[in-house]
Structure 1
Amino acid sequence: EGRKVRNSRRARAMSKKTRYGQKEQEDAWLNAEVDALYRLAQAGVRVPEPFGFVDGVLLMEMISDEDGKAAPRLDDVILTPEQAKVYHSQVLSDVVRMLCAGLIHGDLSEFNVLVDPKGPVIIDLPQAVNASGNNNAERMLERDIDNMRRYFGHFAPELLNTDYGKEIWALYEAGDLYPDTKLTGCFEHNIKSADVDELIEIIESAKEEERDRQERLQAAEAGND
């Protein structure tokens, strides 16, 4: 959702899930990951550095541990409470940088984060979504952050009482989110009941405006005839 396919033949094939369409879908996902990697690396997010993309092959940095071997996934490491809080803060900072760059991971969990000597590195970005072009962006951002809160909360239980997801999205919607924004982990939920009568009045007013617009269009078309 929110991704554009300019070629109409390609878009039809993808929607019909033909063999050609499936191949194009795979290519689109791979291209989306490549674009996201370059975009996020430039924004300062800790992702594998991309080196090149030629003939469907993506060459990127190998994330390694202190011995030069492949770095473990976050799910494979045991953390102290202090490490958990530091890593959680680093991941949140990267999530904020991603959102400031216009992207949301969409599938962030302990299985999509590697750990090198400097800390977490976010991987697996083919499903990254455009924050302003996807109707589910807010929900996906909150899910990503909640996944991280639950995981790190196993080691540092105090993190379970935070609400960074809604805080970050509220700042983003208000245009007040920046890479260096200081977060509190607190969010004041609006528990005020909606004024249903006022809402119905607004809807009816919008309907009336649309009816007037349609009548003017019809009158203009009749005059042209």
Structure 2
Amino acid sequence: MKTPPSLQALIDDGVIDEVLRPLKSGKEAAVYVVRSGDDVRCAKVYKDMAQRSFKQRVQYQEGRKVRGSRETRAIGKATNYGRKQQETAWKNAEVDALYQLRDAGVRVPEPHGYYHGVLVMELVTDAEGFSAPRLGEVELTPEQAREFHRVLVRQVVLMLCCGLIHGDLSEYNVLVDPSGPVVIDFPQVVSAAGNNAARTMLLRDVNNLTASLGRWAPELFDTWYGEEMWALFEAGELRPDSELTGRFVHDTRRVDLASVRDAINDARELALIRQQGREARDADDGD
């Protein structure tokens, strides 16, 4: 295919040799399959963000560190320079998180470098070498769903032990390779200790996973892994090998259990709507 301008510098510098095809394109980035020597990888090109997008990301960016006081002030005042620094910090967040999480044993794509604003990383594939499907695109047995849930809860624990929360974890940000789930897409990664909404985002991440996998193993709906791991984290007792039970005794003086359950049910309904949409598109394609 014709080389996109955003990737030409990587070819000129010898980082990649060829752009093979586009993989996906979203609001945040476009991803391409590229060749680097004998290896096939992917290159994530971050898109420029409008001011409206920055305002929507204030909650995620709370607690993130920037280079210095000048940058901090500029971001706070929303100057042009501040917005550029905010955009740079947004892009760098995923790169930094991937290296940190990979070192901690989290199942994420292996990063191969960050060049000219482009993240080059491992292409996650299925058993036949094709791009791996998303979690929401695979049919699972109850046993597979329970195992995937166990693995993903462990990934969330490992991330939290690194002080990070994915912030947008769902069946659309998990790929499935021959060894199981792989977590992707980290530009919105959240500081667990520095963000006031960290607990809410962690519970949402875990609830999204439970809603998706509970379709195949309904008993998962009665688990409380997010609440359990956050309580251990707050107490300074969460470890990468902490044994979780999925059981949690809520303090009804502080927690609105009905709201928590409503959030889970909302996530379930959203997952069902998305599934019905995919089935409808598949039916249209079949016609």
How would you bin the TM-score normalised by the shorter chain? 0.7 to 0.9
After TM superposition, the structure 1 = structure 2 runs for residues 105-124 of structure 1, keeping only pairs within 5 Å, are: 105-124=166-185
Partners in 2 of 1:8 and 1:173 — Cα distance?
29
Structure with larger RCO (C-alpha < 8 A, sep 6+): 1
Among candidates 149, 152, 155, match of residue 91 of structure 1: 152
Aligned to 1:29: 90
| Deviations 1:16-43, CA, capped at 9 Å, x for gaps | 5455443332221110100000000000
Deviation at 1:8, TM superposition (A): 4.1
**Secondary structure in 2 aligned to 1:134?**
coil
Q: Give structure 1 stretches of 5+ with no counterpart.
A: 194-225
Deviation at 1:58, TM superposition (A): 1.3
Aligned to 1:144: 205
Aligned to 1:206: none
Partners in 2 of 1:18 and 1:78 — Cα distance?
48
Partners in 2 of 1:139 and 1:19 — Cα distance?
31
Aligned to 1:212: none
Structure label with greater radius of gyration: 1
**Secondary structure in 2 aligned to 1:141?**
helix
Aligned to 1:47: 108
Please, what is the CA RMSD of the aligned residues? Answer: 1.6
Aligned to 1:173: 234
| Deviations 1:150-192, CA, capped at 9 Å, x for gaps | 1100110000000111100011111211111111000011235
Q: Give structure 2 stretches of 5+ with no counterpart.
A: 1-61, 255-287
Deviation at 1:7, TM superposition (A): 3.6
Q: TM-score, with normalisation over the residues of structure 2? A: 0.64
| Deviations 1:170-222, CA, capped at 9 Å, x for gaps | 111112111111110000112358xxxxxxxxxxxxxxxxxxxxxxxxxxxxx
**1:192 to 1:128, Cα distance in 2 relative to 1, 3 A:** closer
Q: Identity across aligned pairs (percent)? A: 61
Aligned to 2:63: 2
Q: TM-score, with normalisation over the residues of structure 1? A: 0.81
Aligned to 2:161: 100
